[in-house]
Amino acid sequence: MEVVIVPDADAAAEIVAGVIAGVLHARPAPVLGLATGSSPLASYRRLIAAHGRGELSFARASAVLLDEYVGLPPGHPEAYRAFICRELVDRVDLPRERLFGPDVLAADLADACRRYDELIGDLGGVDVQLLGIGADGHVGFNEPGSSLASRTRIKTLTRATRADNARFFENHEREVPRHVVTQGLGTILEARHLLLVACGAAKAEPIARAVEGPLTAMCPASVLQLHAHATVVVDEPAAAGLKLADYYCEAYANKPRWQQL
């Protein structure tokens, strides 16, 4: 795992957007794994700006959602498909029909989850999966206790996660759906590159557990320790709990020129 510590959220967004731009330039049919929430927004804004300047095209790309709420009415503005369209897809040239998410309206949800994993395989797998981290160490909506080998499936959000996400529902916690479909930890691990971004002091504890704690279902993000190509980009406040922070900074500062993120 490579840990990149930068001074602030802007610098983190620059690095994350740079990695995604690199994949868009390098791959003939890039597949992006997209997260929602606050953490990726600054990176999305940078990608939109680069597209606006004519430097970046998503025309050959496909994108897959990391997770989706279950039980919101179709077209609800906080559905993750709507969120990603609003914050990225509708503002770049990624063809809307190549934005994929689990079919949370399907009568047979278990089958829809299986089909979603198959679809990701049919696309050739995810080139870069962007991730945030929850206060309880979740990635996607794999809450503590999630199997480290899990596939896409329905999960129940913890009360703490519903309280955290109430800010997207005018602070009405009861409006936050109880259920979600999320890519499983095993599904996430199949992406070729995992790119986790976390900023702010509230992320210091989950980041320390994920990066330097034991591999455990109690901190689902610790599963990144199993991945051969995982990058964690954090600002200084989010890095505050890392024992090896000085080493990560030294390694990054002295990174061989040929070695990219």
Note whether 181 and 152 are within 8 A (CB): yes
Select from 134, 184, 186, 213 the one that contacts ligand F6R (CB under 6 A): 134
Number of Cα atoms under 13 Å in the Cβ half of residue 79: 16
Cα end-to-end distance, the chain, whole Å: 10
Kindly report the number of other CB atoms within 10 A of residue 196's CB atom: 26
E strand segments, 152-253: 153-156, 179-182, 194-198, 230-235
User: Is 173 considered catalytic here?
Assistant: no
Q: Which of 34, 36, 48, 46 is nearest to 77 (CA)?
A: 36
Are 98 and 59 in contact by the 8 Å Cβ rule? The answer is no
> Of the listed pieces 18-26, 35-43, 210-218, 242-250, which binds ligand F6R according to CB under 6 A?
35-43
Q: Name the residue number minimizing CB distance to ligand F6R.
A: 132
* Annotated catalytic residue, options 51, 67, 117, 193: 67
**Min. distance of Cβ 253 from ligand F6R in angstroms?**
27
Nearer to ligand F6R, 123 or 163 (CB): 163
DSSP letter at 261 equals -
Q: Which is nearer to ligand F6R, 5 or 197 (CB)?
A: 197
Please, which residue, 38 or 260, has the CB nearer to ligand F6R? 38
Q: Rank residues 98 and 138 by Cβ distance to ligand F6R and give the closer one.
A: 138
Regarding 9 and contact with ligand F6R (CB under 6 A), the answer is: no
Catalogue the active-site residues: 67, 136, 138, 143
Binding site for ligand F6R (CB under 6 A): 35-39, 66-67, 132-134, 138-141
